[in-house]
Amino acid sequence: MKKITFSILFLSAVIISNAQTFKPFKVDVSTGYAIPGGKGAKGGVLFAVEPKYAVIPNLSVGLRFEAAVMARGFADQAGSNSEVDVKAAGSYLATGDYYFTENTVRPFAGAGVGIFSLASASANDNSASVGTGSKFGGLLRAGVEISHLRLGLEYNLVPATTVTVHDGSSTYEGKAKNGYMGIKIGAVIGGGRIKK
């Protein structure tokens, strides 16, 4: 029985290793444009590094480290909107991408979950402030890899932050939107085809 089990495991390993047409380890390095949600918000730049490992030829898992510099917007109780100072937001997410083909042109879709670290900021009228903090969030994305070029569109799902607004003698709270869209272009280091 042990010989049969060993033979099946050995045969499975040989089949899986032969089916792997791409090198399993790679690192994506991307830059792009960050578009925050909410009125009064202004876009900025982002930079990301993401080491990945292909657990099967069409599925890669990784860790995304990203910094995005942008101006968030917030709405107060009266519904008026204001711009929050330009600040950086960092994120640390576990990710997964599914590739629909094993060709040179590889469309993909992916998702991720993790921590978004938000810097403190103040509103342009100096009557509101947003404290520092971390939020648990996620991302959804799609794009294409063409050889070692990567193009993608990502939406970062981050819960809103409470904003304390001081209006003369009264104090009340508003909400600052933290979610943002990322349009990215980057390079894939490693992960090329295995030469047979």
Task: Kindly indicate the confidence band of residue 131, based on its pLDDT and cuts at 50, 70 and 90.
Answer: low
> What does the pLDDT read at residue 18?
46
> What does the pLDDT read at residue 167?
63
Question: 34-38, 81-85, 139-143: which has the minimum mean pLDDT?
Answer: 81-85
Question: 59-68, 98-107, 174-183: which has the minimum mean pLDDT?
Answer: 174-183
Task: Kindly indicate the confidence band of residue 57, based on its pLDDT and cuts at 50, 70 and 90.
Answer: confident
- Higher per-residue confidence, 57 vs 88: 57
178, 80, 87, 70: which is closest to 134 by C-alpha?
A: 178
Amino acid, res. 8: I
Give the span between the Cα atoms of 132 and 85, in whole angstroms.
Answer: 13
pLDDT above 80 for 99: yes
**Under the phi-then-psi rule, with left for phi > 0, alpha for psi from -120 to 50, and beta for the rest, what region is 114?**
left
Phi/psi for 73 (5° steps) reads -115, 155
Give the span between the Cα atoms of 129 and 163, in whole angstroms.
Answer: 6
> What does the pLDDT read at residue 14?
47
127, 124, 151, 139: which is closest to 89 by C-alpha?
A: 139
HSE-CB for 166 with a 13 A CA cutoff: 11
Give the span between the Cα atoms of 52 and 178, in whole angstroms.
Answer: 26
Give the span between the Cα atoms of 100 and 160, in whole angstroms.
Answer: 33
Task: Kindly indicate the confidence band of residue 82, based on its pLDDT and cuts at 50, 70 and 90.
Answer: low
Q: Among residues of the chain, what percentage have pLDDT more than 70?
A: 68
Q: Give me the CATH topology for the region 22-190.
A: Porin (2.40.160)
> What does the pLDDT read at residue 15?
46
Give this prediction's pTM.
0.76
Burial of 143: CB neighbours in 10 Å, binned 0-12, 13-18, 19+: buried
pLDDT above 50 for 116: yes
Task: Kindly indicate the confidence band of residue 74, based on its pLDDT and cuts at 50, 70 and 90.
Answer: low
Task: Kindly indicate the confidence band of residue 139, based on its pLDDT and cuts at 50, 70 and 90.
Answer: very high
